[in-house]
Amino acid sequence: MLNRRNFLTAAVGVAATAGLAACAKEDGSSSNTSSGGSKTITLGFSQVGSESGWRTANTDSVKSAAKEAGYKLQFSDAQQKQENQISAIRSFIAQKVDVIAFSPVVVTGWDAVLKEAQSAKIPVVLTDRSVESDESLFVALVGSDFTDEGRRAAKILEKVLQKAGHKGKVKIAQLEGTTGAAPAIERAKGFKEVMDAEHKDDWEIVVSQTGDFTRAGGKQVMAAFLQSNPDIDVLFAHNDDMGLGAIQAIEAAGKKPGKDILIVTVDGVKDGFIAMSEGKINAIVECNPLLGPQLMEVVKTVHEGGKVERWIKTKESDFMQDQAKDALPTRKY
């Protein structure tokens, strides 16, 4: 996965890969013309699935930005299965697309297929999520800093607890995203980092399990949490959808979400903001899904053999419950 320490090393890899793209044009093995050519760019994009409101907004953003840029988009939905993504990437290679972009379901297991893309001289851009692979196998990542989102969730929880007047020990339930996915690993890591550094004596994660980033998963796992740990004070859900499912389970157990159990989630989709304006979520750490326009810029630069930043991040904010009503009408997703 990308981190600040390997950023510079990675930049060298970018130049090398961009060189590869240019080389592809020179030796005629790519279907398109080189820099400034008139042919349409063909982009193969493999999406994770449609597990959440965030994902729907991300898919819409990619599709509309590709249309706006005038690219031919080969879109494939992996239905949250890595084997589907690997097949889609192989099919993009066979079709000789100009650039491949994908949002990896999980972080491991990509080296073989990425090497195939490299051998075919097709540059690969990661979007949304990173991988644990040889970094020369992809050009750039367009996406959020999930570790920082985890840290931000812990910091905003401090404010939530203070506002609620909570004193003493804090028992936390964590709803994790898809096992092995970058946002699940890194959000948990960032949250724990702050917890270990600043709340070793007063905060404890008493239960933590995956809800697979879905509403149904969040509901089911939260119901089980409440059975085993009826005295949970806080829920940290790795995305809004799991938080929204958990709210249903909390209400079904006769408790008040946002009061009896304080809730912090990540994403900031409209449904999350609606629940927050109703007092059922206490704070949201935003994760911006509108990555399409930045992705298309990177695709163009890479296709033309230019240099791109190794990690292109988007601007994000944090929201407390008292900001929800004002922010709701301006939410774009």
* Residue numbers at the binding site for ligand AHR (CB under 6 A): 51-52, 54-55, 128-129, 183, 213, 239, 241, 266-267, 287
Nearer to ligand AHR, 257 or 289 (CB): 289
Residue 23 CB contacts under 8 Å (≥ 6 apart), including other chains: 121
First to last CA, the chain: 27
Cα–Cα distance for residue pair 26/9, rounded to 1 Å: 26
CA atoms within 13 A on the CB side of 136: 10
Nearer to ligand AHR, 143 or 258 (CB): 143
Cα pseudo-dihedral 156, 158, 161, 165, rounded to 10 = -130
Pairing of strands 99-102, 42-47: parallel
Nearer to ligand AHR, 88 or 285 (CB): 285
Least Å distance, CB 80 to ligand AHR, is: 9
Question: Hey, is 205 helix, strand or coil?
Answer: strand
Nearer to ligand AHR, 53 or 123 (CB): 53
Nearer to ligand AHR, 21 or 291 (CB): 291
Least Å distance, CB 212 to ligand AHR, is: 9
Q: Strand runs (DSSP E) across 111-238, as ranges? A: 124-127, 140-142, 170-176, 203-210, 234-237
Nearer to ligand AHR, 41 or 247 (CB): 247
Question: Hey, is 280 helix, strand or coil?
Answer: coil
Cα–Cα distance for residue pair 208/302, rounded to 1 Å: 40
Nearer to ligand AHR, 121 or 151 (CB): 151
Least Å distance, CB 306 to ligand AHR, is: 27
Which residue type, as a one-letter code, is found at position 314?
T
Residues 307 and 21: beta-carbon distance below 8 Å: no
Nearer to ligand AHR, 123 or 183 (CB): 183
Pairing of strands 140-142, 318-320: unpaired
Question: Hey, is 319 helix, strand or coil?
Answer: strand
Least Å distance, CB 60 to ligand AHR, is: 14
Give DSSP secondary structure letters for 85-137.
HHHHHHHHHHTT-SEEEE--SSSSS-HHHHHHHHHTT--EEEESS--SS-GGG
Least Å distance, CB 196 to ligand AHR, is: 23
Least Å distance, CB 129 to ligand AHR, is: 5
Cα–Cα distance for residue pair 50/55, rounded to 1 Å: 6
Least Å distance, CB 78 to ligand AHR, is: 12
Least Å distance, CB 143 to ligand AHR, is: 7
Nearer to ligand AHR, 116 or 132 (CB): 132
Least Å distance, CB 137 to ligand AHR, is: 20
